[in-house]
Amino acid sequence: MTSAPAKYAHYFADFQSLIQGAGAGAPNWLKDLRDTGWSRFNETGFPTARRGNERWKYTNVGTIAKTDFRLAGGPTPANSSKALAPSYRMEGASVFDLVYIDGRYSPDLSSPAAPSNGITAASLASIASDSKFSLEGQIGRYAPPGDDGFAALNTAFLYDGAYIYVADGHSEKVLVRLSYTTTDGTSPRITHPRTMIVAGQNTDITVVESYSGPKDNVYFTNAVTEISVGAGAHVDHYRLLLEGEKAFHVGTNRVNQERDSSFSSASFALGTALARNDLEVLLDGPGAYCSLNGLYLTADNQHIDNLISIDHAQPHCTSRLNYKGILDGRSRAVFGGTVLVRRDAQKSDAEQTDKNLVLSKQAEVDSKPSLLIYADDVKCSHGATAGHIDPDTLFYLRSRGLDLDTASRMLVQAFASEIVDKVQVEPLREYLDALFNAAIPNKSLPVAEAR
Amino acid sequence: MAAAVKGSKPLLSVKGLTASAGDLEILKGIDLEVFPGEVHAIMGPNGSGKSTLANVLAGRPDYTVTGGQVLFEGQHILKLEPEIRARMGLFLAFQYPLELPGVRAWQFLKAGVDARRVHNHEEEMSAREFDQMLKAKVEQVQIDPDLVKRAVNEGFSGGEKKRNEILQMAVLEPKLALLDETDSGLDIDALRIVADGVNLLRSPENAVVLVTHYQRILDYITPNHVHVLFDGRIVRSGGPELAYELEEKGYDWIKDAVDVGV
C-alpha cells in the first residue's frame, strides 16, 4: 500500500477510509484504477504555475493545495439540500434526474432510467460491479489519471457519479439532468463527481450537469466528465457552475467524437471563488462537428480559468469555440483556447473567439487563443477582445431616451444573450436568462475612452 | 407641405452656439430658429460642422459646448443628459447607426417609448398596445417586418440601417427630428423610402432639421429653409432655391464668397 507525503495526510486518511469502507466492494478493475489515481496524485501533487507549465500559468491553486478538504462523513438528509439544486423544470418521456448530495447519489431525489430500452442513466456506485455495463476500460479511457493532479485525485476517489449510456440507433431524444450539490459542513468539504456519457451511433442525448453548494462555505468540487460521441450521434452538453462564492471548482472534461457526430457544449459560470473549466475535444472521425460555448460572470476577487482545446485529428471536421465573459470587481478571467489541426486533417474549419466585457477598472483578462496548424487546406480563425462598454453604442441607446443605467444593463444583457440563446432546452434557457440578468450588477459602468 | 405656423414660438432656438472636440473648435457661433411645421436643410462641405451641430443638439458627450445657448420649447437643454432631451421629443437619426447584437428591436423601441411616457407622467405601454403601434409604424414606413424581429441593425445593409432610423423616428414621434446625413450612401429607392417616411411624419406641430451634403434628397423633401454651414458658421440662409444654386455652383462658390467677404 502506498503512503502519502505529510501535506496530503488528510487525503490519505480519506482514501484509506474509502477503500476500506464504502468503496471496499468495488470490482478489481476499479480498485486498481483508484490505486493508479492515488499513486499518480502523489507523484504530481497539485499543479503549480512553475516555469513551463503553460496549462496553469495564470491560475494559482495554492489555496486548494493548502486547505484540508475532507469527504463528507455520511449521507446527508435529502430534504436539507433540495433548495440548493437549480430550480428549472423539465418534463417529458425520456427525462431523467440524477441527484448527488456531497458526492453520493440520492435515490430519493432522483428519477433514473429503468434498466431497459437501451438507455442507462444511473448512479456509478450502484452499477460499478455489474459486468453487463462493462464499465471496465470505459471509465478513465478519455480522462486518464495521468492528465493532471486533479484528474488523478478524482480517480483515486472514484466512487460515485453518473453513467449515461444510450445504445446504437436509439434515436429518441434522451435528456438527463445531473445535479451535484455540496451541503454545508463544519469543515471544508470535497467531492469528486465523476460523469461518463456514452452516446451510441445515431443517438441524441442532452445532459445538463449542474454544480451547486452553500453560499458561505469553503468547499471544493473536483469533477471529471468523459463523453464519447458515437458515429452520427448528437450530444448537447450543458455545464452549470452555480457554486457558492467561497467555493473552488475544477472540472476536467474530455470528449471523443467519432465520424459525423456533433457535440454542442455550453458552460455557464457564476460566482465561484476559483473555477477551472478544462475541456478537451478530440475530433476523431471525418465530418465531426463541435460547438463549444461559454458564458462567465465574475465579481469581487473571483477567478475563472477556461482552458479549451480542440484536436482536429481527422479531415473535414468543423469546430466553433465561442466564450464570453463579464467581469466586475477585481475579478480575473483566464482563457486559453487551442485549436490543433493535424497534418492529415485537411478541410478543417475552425473558428474561435473569446470576448470579454469589463465592468470595472480593476478586473483583468488574460486571453490566449492559439492555432496550431499542420495541414495546408484549412479554414481557421481566432480572436480575443476585452474592453469596457462602447461609448458610441451607449450614446445611441441614450439618444432614444434610455438612461445610463438602463442602457448599460441592456447592453450587458445583450452581450450575455448570444450564449444564453444557444441553449436548446427552453426551460433551461429561461432559467439561465433570469439567473444571469439578476446577476448583472446594478451600477454605473465605466465606458471605453471615446475615440 | 405643412406650412410654418406663423406667430408661434420657436421649437428650437440656437444662439451663438460654439463647441469643440478636444482642442479643435468646430462650431464657431451658430444661430438658428426652427418653428413648428418647418423643415430646415443644413448643407455644407465635409468638415464644415453640420454633423457636429446635430450631435451637439442631441447631447453627444464627445463634444464640449464652449458657449451660446440652445432652447427647446423654451427650455435650456445644453446641460441636460441626452436621454432627457430624447424624452422631451428630440430625435437624432444617426449618420452611422450602430449595430446592437443581442438587443431586440422590440425591447429597444419599447424602452424608448416608455421612457418618454414616464417622463410625460403617462403610464408605460402595454405589450399588446405597443405591438399594435409598432406593426402600424412598420407598415407606414414600409420597412421589412422581419427587420423588427431581429437584433437592432445587426447585419443590416446600410440602407436597412437608415430605414430603421426612420422607423425609430416614427415610433418615438419626436417633436424635432435631426437627420444626420440620413441620405448619404443610399440608392435612389432607399432614398425615396427615407424621404417618404420623413414626409409622412411632417405635421404642423413638429419640425425636421435635415443635415445633408447633397441636394439630392431635397428633390423629395422640400425644405422651408436652407442654410449653408461653412467653417463652423452659417454663412448663407435662404429658401429651397439656395439648394439648387449650391448644386449648380458647388461649395467652392460659397468658399470663394466667404473668402472675399461677400
Which chain B residues have a beta carbon less than 8 Å from that of A404? 81, 83
Please provide the average confidence, as pLDDT, over all residues in chain B: 91
**A410: nearest CA partner in chain B:** B103
User: Could you give the CA distance from residue A296 to residue A277 in angstroms, rounded to a whole number?
Assistant: 11
Is the CB of A397 inside 8 Å of chain B's CB atoms?
A: yes
Tell me the DSSP string of A270-318. E--SEEEEEEEEEE-STT-EEEEEEEEEE-TT-EEEEEEEEEE-SSS-E
Cβ <8 Å between A401 and B100: no
Which chain A residues have a beta carbon less than 8 Å from that of B149? none
Cβ <8 Å between A406 and B108: no
Give me the pLDDT at residue A28, please.
94
The predicted-structure confidence for A168-214, as pLDDT tens digits, reads as follows 999 889 999 999 999 988 889 999 999 999 999 999 999 999 999 99
In terms of residue numbers, what domain contains A41? Answer: 6-285
Give me the pLDDT at residue B37, please.
95
User: Which is more confident, B121 or B257?
Assistant: B121
Give me the pLDDT at residue A95, please.
86
CA A161 to chain centre: 14
User: Could you give the CA distance from residue A449 to residue A447 in angstroms, rounded to a whole number?
Assistant: 6
Point out the residue among B62, B100, B116 whose CB comes nearest to the CB of A401: B116
Cβ <8 Å between A414 and B92: no
Cβ <8 Å between A418 and B61: no
State yes or no: pLDDT of A83 exceeds 70.
no
**A401: nearest CA partner in chain B:** B83
Q: Is residue A222 in a domain?
A: yes
Contacts of A7 (CB under 8 A, 6+ apart): A65
Point out the residue among B97, B98, B115 whose CB comes nearest to the CB of A401: B115
- Residue B234 forms beta bridges with which residues? B229
* Paired sense of beta strands B151-152 and B100-104, if any: antiparallel
Q: What ipTM does this complex have?
A: 0.95
Cβ <8 Å between B101 and A399: no
The predicted-structure confidence for A367-395, as pLDDT tens digits, reads as follows 999 999 999 999 999 999 999 999 999 99
User: Could you give the CA distance from residue B106 to residue B91 in angstroms, rounded to a whole number?
Assistant: 18
Picking from A353, A392, A389, A397, the residue whose alpha carbon sits closest to that of residue A371 is A353
Give me the pLDDT at residue A444, please.
67
User: Which domains occur in chain B, in start order?
Assistant: 12-96+173-259 (3.40.50.300)
Give me the pLDDT at residue A271, please.
82
State yes or no: pLDDT of A73 exceeds 80.
no
Question: Where does B100-157 have alpha helices with state H?
Answer: 105-119, 127-140, 145-149
Q: Name the grid cell of B239.
A: 429658401
- Residue B37 forms beta bridges with which residues? none
The predicted-structure confidence for A241-267, as pLDDT tens digits, reads as follows 999 999 999 999 999 999 999 999 999
**A392: nearest CA partner in chain B:** B98
Find out whether A85 and A181 touch, Cβ atoms under 8 Å: yes
Cβ <8 Å between B111 and A418: no
DSSP state of A58: S
The predicted-structure confidence for A25-70, as pLDDT tens digits, reads as follows 999 999 999 999 999 999 999 998 777 788 999 999 999 999 999 9
State yes or no: pLDDT of A397 exceeds 60.
yes
Find out whether A307 and A339 touch, Cβ atoms under 8 Å: no
Is the CB of A401 inside 8 Å of chain B's CB atoms?
A: yes
Reported as a pLDDT band with limits 50, 70 and 90, residue A332 is very high
State yes or no: pLDDT of B5 exceeds 60.
no
The predicted-structure confidence for B236-260, as pLDDT tens digits, reads as follows 999 999 988 888 888 888 777 777 6
Picking from B56, B170, B41, the residue whose alpha carbon sits closest to that of residue B105 is B170
Q: How many Cα atoms within 13 Å fall on the side-chain side of residue B34?
A: 30
**Cβ atoms within 10 Å of B83's Cβ, excluding its own:** 24
Give me the pLDDT at residue B2, please.
46
Give me the pLDDT at residue B188, please.
86
Cβ <8 Å between B172 and A401: yes
First to last CA, chain B: 33
Which chain B residues have a beta carbon less than 8 Å from that of A402? 83, 111-112, 115
**B83: nearest CA partner in chain A:** A401
User: Which is more confident, B119 or A111?
Assistant: B119
Please provide the average confidence, as pLDDT, over all residues in chain A: 91
Give me the pLDDT at residue A37, please.
96
- Write out the residues of chain B at the interface with chain A, using a CB-CB cutoff of 8 A: 58-62, 81-83, 86-87, 91-92, 94, 97-98, 100-103, 107-109, 111-113, 115-116, 119, 151, 168, 172
Average confidence (pLDDT) over B211-230: 92
Find out whether A231 and A203 touch, Cβ atoms under 8 Å: no
Cβ <8 Å between A402 and B83: yes
Q: Is residue A355 in a domain?
A: no
Picking from B38, B40, B16, B13, the residue whose alpha carbon sits closest to that of residue B28 is B16
Q: Is residue A217 in a domain?
A: yes
Picking from A228, A225, A165, the residue whose alpha carbon sits closest to that of residue A195 is A225
Average confidence (pLDDT) over A156-169: 96
Q: Is residue A100 in a domain?
A: yes
Find out whether A229 and A261 touch, Cβ atoms under 8 Å: yes
State yes or no: pLDDT of A104 exceeds 90.
yes
Which chain A residues have a beta carbon less than 8 Å from that of B98? 392-393, 396
Q: Is residue A305 in a domain?
A: no
Average confidence (pLDDT) over B116-142: 95
Is the CB of A108 inside 8 Å of chain B's CB atoms?
A: no
First to last CA, chain A: 66
Give me the pLDDT at residue B1, please.
43
Give me the pLDDT at residue A5, please.
62
Reported as a pLDDT band with limits 50, 70 and 90, residue A79 is low
State yes or no: pLDDT of A334 exceeds 90.
yes
Which chain A residues have a beta carbon less than 8 Å from that of B116? 401
User: Could you give the CA distance from residue B176 to residue B179 in angstroms, rounded to a whole number?
Assistant: 10
State yes or no: pLDDT of A76 exceeds 70.
no
> What percentage of chain A has pLDDT greater than the value 70?
93
Picking from B131, B126, B130, B156, the residue whose alpha carbon sits closest to that of residue B143 is B156
Q: Is residue A275 in a domain?
A: yes
Which chain A residues have a beta carbon less than 8 Å from that of B83? 398-404, 407
Q: Is residue A334 in a domain?
A: no
Cβ <8 Å between B86 and A396: no
Reported as a pLDDT band with limits 50, 70 and 90, residue B67 is very high
Q: How many domains does chain A have?
A: 1
Q: Is residue A294 in a domain?
A: no
